[in-house]
Amino acid sequence: MGCFGFLKGMMFVFNGIIFLAGAVILGVGIWVKVDSGSVLSLLGKIPNAPEQLSQVLNVGYLLIAVGAVLLILGFLGCCGAVKESKCMLLLFFVIILLVFIAEVAGAIVILVFKPLANDLIRKLGVEMVKDIKNDYGQNPDTTGLWNSTMETLKCCGFNNYTDFEGSPFVTDTKNFPLPCCSSTASPCSANNTMNSVCDTGALNEFMVFRL
């Protein structure tokens, strides 16, 4: 009986921690999506914070989903342990099992399709660079989309500034796009360009829009 009581108490404490962690994560996720301005302001006060830190706004829905799952797990575990409810405990272990199966399946998919994904990204990069060299500075849609993508992600082209070499823009102006330079000073020459690579997720969205 003493051993059973100890296990019951440990399960209550363990799931209580999970419940609190889920509540915190859920709260942060809701805060990020509802009041993104305050989050950006707070991140901006962090000394020497990398610019990529602002990308935390993109994981708001993920935080909400993770927090909700942890909240449900913690609730089922705590109540199931206190009330000794077989139904709650069974549901708790079923959810744990499903999460475990999903993680294993995800790992297998990543291992199997990683070479395919790398090849797809490589081919996508070739098409992106070709698009830049043929249309940037000549096609308003291509120029506007690339400018928006580069300004948002603080990057230059798909690989680096060399993607723009030979494009109508560079041929006509003898300069590179402003997002490709480390400063906002105009004109942007090859002497002060940067090699920052754009986020592939945003570039995928760009390609979908183009199609």
DSSP character string of 183-209? SS-SS--GGGB--PPPPHHHHHHHHHH
CB of 25 closer than 8 Å to CB of 76: no
Domain ranges of the chain: 2-40+55-111, 135-210
- Mean of pLDDT over the chain: 77
- Locate all alpha helices (DSSP H) within the chain, ordered by sequence: 2-34, 36-44, 60-83, 86-135, 140-153, 168-173, 200-210
Q: What percent of the chain has pLDDT over 70?
A: 77
Please tell me whether residue 122 adopts helix, strand or coil conformation.
helix
Is the separation of the CB atoms in 125 and 158 below 8 Å? yes
Q: Which CATH class is domain 135-210?
A: mainly alpha
Q: What is the pTM of this model?
A: 0.50
pLDDT, tens digit, for every residue of 88-118? 888 888 888 888 898 888 888 888 787 777 7
